[in-house]
Structure 1
Amino acid sequence: MNSKLLDANPLAATPIETPVAANTLLDDYGDDATFFYASPRLTFLGKGLHARLREPGREALLAHQVGELLAGARQAGIAAPIVAGALPFDADDAAVLFVPEQIIRAGRLAHGQIRAAAPQPLRGEIRQVPEAAVYHHAVEEALHRFATTPLEKVVLSRALEVHAPGGIDARALLTQLAAHNPNGFTFALDLFERGGHSIHRPLRLMGASPELLVSRHGRTLTANPIAGTLPRSKDPVEDEARGQSLLASVKDLHEHALVVDAVAKSLAPLCSTLIVPPKPSLIKTATLWHLSTMVHGEVADPSTSALDLAQALHPTPAVCGHPRDLAHAAIRELEPFERGLFTGMVGWIDETGDGEWAVTIRCAEVDSDKVRLFAGAGIVPASTPESELIETAAKFRTMLNAMGLEAQLEDLL
């Protein structure tokens, strides 16, 4: 079967400034940086903190709150301010949104010129949450619900807690992520205490997501739902065979169609035109094959911002399931941890309403001496506990590779 084969993400074809300038922003990432974001179009480095969202970002009020942050920044003399940060998976949790004191912009990273030394493996204890056997049981319970309820898909996740008494070099970790994920969305942002509460928060959210939730530039929108995954092989012939088998997989094509249909239904009321390809394409990251559909459209109302579009989409079946309410309830019952910002969205928005939001996956919460990684898999009736366990282990590889811990992968099965 012929396939359209792309490196994720297809937006890579549109750099907007001199690439070399972007690499200096990666080199300049340090303790004073509050936001780093590199996409196939552009790179941001934010330094310092002008203002941040102090109250929980309730969905109905969020656009107003973001508008106030941008207006306040403009009044304070900040040129071309942006609101950057992350929104959580669960709307009941608080968003982390802020205006950097200084924002430096550039075009696409020149990934081949990134100076990334081989990572020094972190030395310390690794704990699975939950253990593999418990995750296996959760998948079995999801399969039971498919047979007894209208639930069609649920995304179930695992976490890894890596304790590193010697400390974590966040800059080296970010450089590894950027160097080995050239077509993804590489990010790092400070996580602040919110609303005056004294709850400890990890210092940073870091990752390299392959999935664009939505972007808006002028009236043009782009969304890139991804669902359906297979681990890659180091053998070129086997690797290509895996890609072709994914493209022909009835189970994965069904899972992908659920996501694309939901995205189209959410965006259609907001668009004057919407183009949805009838079949997915194959894309690849350094570690995984994915089924991908690139959706393009034009917003009907120019006041509809990138954040409005992102909120209309979130959470898609790619991170939650279908039907949404049943899947969300199953996640609450079957996952033994709070997702927080994992499977939410990370990105930025400016005064014009332009912006870009990636799905917060292939990520970790990074503290001074510990890292908490996350990975999930879409469970559908054709799933097996064994295959979904393998998929989550493969998705951990993005962060494990960047930390020099790929050799630990076999322990996760």
Structure 2
Amino acid sequence: MFTDANTCSTVSGDSGNGSAYQRPSAIDLLYRYGVDSSIFLGTPERTLLGRGVRLRLKRGPGESTATALQQLFTDLQRNGDSEAILVGAIPFAPDAQPVLFIPDQLDVAGPLGRHTALKPNQARRGTATEEQPAQAVYAQRVQQALDLIRHTALKKVVLSRMLEIRSERDIDQSMVLRNLAARNIGGYTFAVDLPTPSAGVRRLVGASPELLLQRMGGQLLANPIAGTAPRSSDPGEDLARSRKLLHSAKDRQEHALVVEAVAETLRPYCRNLHVPPVPELLATNRVWHLSTRIRAELTKHAPASYALALALHPTPAVCGEPRDLAARAIHTLEDFDRGLFTGLVGWCDAKGDGAWAVTIRCAEIEANRATLYAGAGIVADSDPWQEVAETSAKFQTLLDAIQGGVA
């Protein structure tokens, strides 16, 4: 079942007491999110809430995600189900199984926007935390990456670390989602139900500022983000940090690598590809980013949004440049599986329209445990301890949501 809560705000009819039936708004969908929900996705254009799983993507041995998705949509159209919407998440590693499915029911509303009803609340009490790797070890690995950049063809590599949280009580996943939505006004707020062998509910929850790709009809939008600076609570210092980032040669170089790679990958599928010559600033609650919004008109035979997204993924923003060298460096220097972190989360329909955001600023939450992820792009002029500070600032997005924090 697919219902669009934005097509009509009210439906006339007999509701039992003579009043009109009010379709749910975006804020209604957010507050409906609970144990029986399979996905929530809030974007600048729409809000989606899914319940249950009607059909899950199953990728065969040696089959690519793109091929499996193409076959799934072909089968749906052959069976007369051309209205189905596929949702979910794609991992960082191309050979890992995606979490993609068609919900039993999917409600769609307009964007959340800024709602005064959203107030941050504490989602857990009393925690123990453990970093992996520790800050000093992460700084050493950044130095190892810098050595690779100096002595090989590697130009950039993104190195990540984890933060494990253990709470005295179960973490309220719905509250974490609402806390993220209260702060992530213009981004992509998500919660995806994950398969688990336990009887509990395990979810990927996050608030990404980065749109990998959106296709609507013949129009395409991509918004690569790279280059970061922690924000300050002092307005003057915060402004100074934003200006420093905007004029930082190191961060501009890191950002340019990502923009160039995205533009070159998309170019064969586009006409009138517009790439702004200089980046702009994008602010989240905890960090400043360099951001470039790439727009294009797609060619007549351009592939679906999922195929375009998979052609881009992983970009230098989450992997590095060149991609193969960066992936090998990540395999050597990171001692954990990223899973869905730095993958993709989004939706796609049978017409090929859809939107896919990069799964950053996220955590996997189950019962009283949460695993937070953060990464930093390493280029020739990177400073190891500044990269430690950057990942710490990125952790804070989910820490604020779990702890309540300050809106």
Q: Give the TM-score, by structure 2 length.
A: 0.90
Tell me the residue number matched to 1:12: none
Distance 2:390 2:277 in 1: 26
1:147-226 to 2 correspondences below 5 Å: 147-192=150-195, 203-226=202-225
Distance 1:201 1:275 in 2: 46
Distance 1:56 1:240 in 2: 51
Q: Assess, with a 3 A threshold, how the Cα gap between structure 1 residues 173 and 346 changes in structure 2: closer, same or farther.
A: same
Distance 1:206 1:16 in 2: 28
Tell me the residue number matched to 1:47: 51
Q: Which moved more, 1:76-85 or 1:149-158?
A: 76-85
- Counting matched residue pairs gives 388
- Check the 8 A contact 1:116/1:172 in 2, yes or no: no
**Superposition deviation, residue 111 in structure 1:** 2.4
Distance 2:60 2:126 in 1: 36
**Superposition deviation, residue 110 in structure 1:** 3.4
Distance 2:57 2:360 in 1: 23
**Superposition deviation, residue 365 in structure 1:** 0.6
- Check the 8 A contact 2:124/2:171 in 1, yes or no: no
Q: Which moved more, 1:171-180 or 1:109-118?
A: 109-118
**Superposition deviation, residue 192 in structure 1:** 1.7
1:305 partner amino acid: A
1:301-340 to 2 correspondences below 5 Å: 301-340=300-339
Q: Which moved more, 1:201-210 or 1:219-228?
A: 201-210
1:18-29 to 2 correspondences below 5 Å: 21-29=25-33
Q: Assess, with a 3 A threshold, how the Cα gap between structure 1 residues 268 and 80 changes in structure 2: closer, same or farther.
A: same
1:133 partner amino acid: A
1:345 partner amino acid: L
Distance 1:52 1:154 in 2: 33
Distance 2:237 2:8 in 1: 38
Q: Which moved more, 1:20-29 or 1:359-368?
A: 20-29
- Check the 8 A contact 2:91/2:342 in 1, yes or no: yes
Distance 1:290 1:391 in 2: 11
Residue-by-residue CA offset, 1:385-407 (whole Å, 9 max, x unaligned): 11000000000011000011769
Q: Assess, with a 3 A threshold, how the Cα gap between structure 1 residues 121 and 217 changes in structure 2: closer, same or farther.
A: same
- Check the 8 A contact 1:192/1:201 in 2, yes or no: no
1:315 counterpart SS class: coil
- Check the 8 A contact 1:222/1:296 in 2, yes or no: yes
Tell me the residue number matched to 1:141: 144
**Superposition deviation, residue 20 in structure 1:** 7.8
2:306 counterpart SS class: helix
Tell me the residue number matched to 2:366: 367
Q: Assess, with a 3 A threshold, how the Cα gap between structure 1 residues 201 and 359 changes in structure 2: closer, same or farther.
A: farther
Q: Assess, with a 3 A threshold, how the Cα gap between structure 1 residues 262 and 303 changes in structure 2: closer, same or farther.
A: closer
Distance 2:250 2:341 in 1: 25
**Superposition deviation, residue 201 in structure 1:** 9.8
1:42-191 to 2 correspondences below 5 Å: 42-55=46-59, 61-70=64-73, 80-191=83-194
Note if 1:36 corresponds to 2:40.
yes
Tell me the residue number matched to 1:410: none
Q: Assess, with a 3 A threshold, how the Cα gap between structure 1 residues 368 and 71 changes in structure 2: closer, same or farther.
A: farther
2:363 counterpart SS class: strand
Q: Which moved more, 1:357-366 or 1:298-307?
A: 298-307
- Check the 8 A contact 2:123/2:176 in 1, yes or no: no
- Check the 8 A contact 1:206/1:365 in 2, yes or no: yes
Tell me the residue number matched to 2:383: 384
**Superposition deviation, residue 202 in structure 1:** 7.1
Residue-by-residue CA offset, 1:18-48 (whole Å, 9 max, x unaligned): 7981111001101111010001111100111
Note if 1:295 corresponds to 2:298.
no
Distance 2:319 2:41 in 1: 24
- Check the 8 A contact 1:66/1:83 in 2, yes or no: no
Q: Which moved more, 1:358-367 or 1:48-57?
A: 48-57
2:94 counterpart SS class: coil
Q: Percent identity?
A: 47
Residue-by-residue CA offset, 1:192-229 (whole Å, 9 max, x unaligned): 25xxxx69997111100000000000010100000000
Q: Which moved more, 1:213-222 or 1:268-277?
A: 268-277
Note if 1:270 corresponds to 2:269.
yes
- Check the 8 A contact 1:35/1:187 in 2, yes or no: yes
Distance 1:28 1:20 in 2: 10
- Check the 8 A contact 1:202/1:365 in 2, yes or no: no
Tell me the residue number matched to 2:241: 242
Distance 2:344 2:7 in 1: 23
Q: Assess, with a 3 A threshold, how the Cα gap between structure 1 residues 55 and 63 changes in structure 2: closer, same or farther.
A: closer
- Check the 8 A contact 1:16/1:42 in 2, yes or no: no
1:209 partner amino acid: S
What is the Cα-based RMSD across aligned positions, in Å?
Answer: 2.3
**Superposition deviation, residue 163 in structure 1:** 1.1
2:25 counterpart SS class: helix
Residue-by-residue CA offset, 1:351-399 (whole Å, 9 max, x unaligned): 1100000001000111112100000000111111110000000000110
Residue-by-residue CA offset, 1:236-270 (whole Å, 9 max, x unaligned): 11111111110110000000000000001100011
Distance 1:96 1:373 in 2: 19
1:28 partner amino acid: R
**Structure 2: 5+ residue stretches without partners:** 1-5, 10-22
Q: Which moved more, 1:202-211 or 1:112-121?
A: 112-121
Distance 1:396 1:202 in 2: 22
